[in-house]
Amino acid sequence: MKLFKGILILAVGVFLTGCEKVIDVKLDTASPKLVIDASIDWLKNTTGNEQRVILSTTTGYYNAEFPTVSGATIFITNSINTVFNFPESSNAGEYICTDFKPVIGETYKLTVILNGVTYAAVETLTGTPDIEDTIKQSNAGGMTGDEIEIQFSYQDDGSRDNYYMTRVKTNRVAFPEYSLESDEMFQGNKMVQFYSHEDLEKGDSANIKLYGTSKRFFEYFTKILLASGNDGSPFPSTPTAARGNIINQTDAENYALGYFRLSEVVTRNYTIQ
């Protein structure tokens, strides 16, 4: 019996050791696609004059960085054809405008010209309500009731349909958490949202941002969250390519990834008690 136990322990040890081997799966890499990050964020009570567009391409699964794209001509025009140019900065792939004029309800057109190909998108700048000053905290929150949870709220405008995106970033987590909300069931009422994390501790900081968005962006980013598995569902959907509103004017099927979004943004900071 002792001999049998010894052989069993040895076999299990060999099995577990063998499981530690890293398997490098060879994956097919599709041809790179242009990625246009054109998120115009107007922080409330600022001029919003400095905005940026980032160009990159998709890359292989194991690559740590996305290749930047230089040499593009980028500009945005408003409804009266005022042109806001985005010249490339000293950082490759970063294009910055310093005289942008954000107006809530205004319609803007983005134009990106790269290697003789023109990409364009049209979107409206959407306003957002203020996050209320009172942020509540519970130490019995989360799905299991043992996490620190914060609750913040904002007042919906009942005169129209509204769509919101929130971003919460804490010093405990490397990446921010995004969520979406519409007022379909809460028209004109106070909107309440929650954030919790198992690693939060007293003294930690949380930065909350609230964005007003269009319905089309809301639907687009919903697909992004579903594909990434960050929608809070235990059953993530099969990843699919989510097409944004940026259209290749020459060949619509050779589309760019990304979205041209314009949002008013409010922010609040909270320290965990």
Taking the C-alpha atoms of residue 85 and residue 87, their distance in angstroms, rounded to an integer, is: 6
Taking the C-alpha atoms of residue 126 and residue 105, their distance in angstroms, rounded to an integer, is: 6
- Say if residue 110 is exposed, middle or buried (CB neighbours under 10 Å; 0-12, 13-18, 19+): buried
Phi, psi angles (nearest 5°) of residue 207: -105, 125
Residue-level pLDDT at 23: 58
Phi, psi angles (nearest 5°) of residue 166: -115, 150
Residue-level pLDDT at 192: 96
End-to-end CA distance of the chain: 58
3 state DSSP class of 261: strand
Residue-level pLDDT at 238: 44
User: Which domains can be identified in the chain, with CATH numbers?
Assistant: 34-127+240-264 (2.60.40), 136-239+267-271 (2.60.40)
Residue-level pLDDT at 187: 96
| Per-residue pLDDT in tens (0 to 9) along the chain, 273 residues | 443 344 334 344 444 445 555 555 555 556 789 999 999 999 999 999 999 999 999 876 556 677 999 999 999 999 999 999 999 999 999 999 999 999 999 999 999 999 999 999 999 999 999 999 999 999 999 888 899 999 999 999 999 999 999 999 999 999 999 999 999 999 999 999 999 999 999 999 999 999 999 999 999 999 999 887 654 444 454 455 678 999 999 898 899 999 999 999 999 999 999
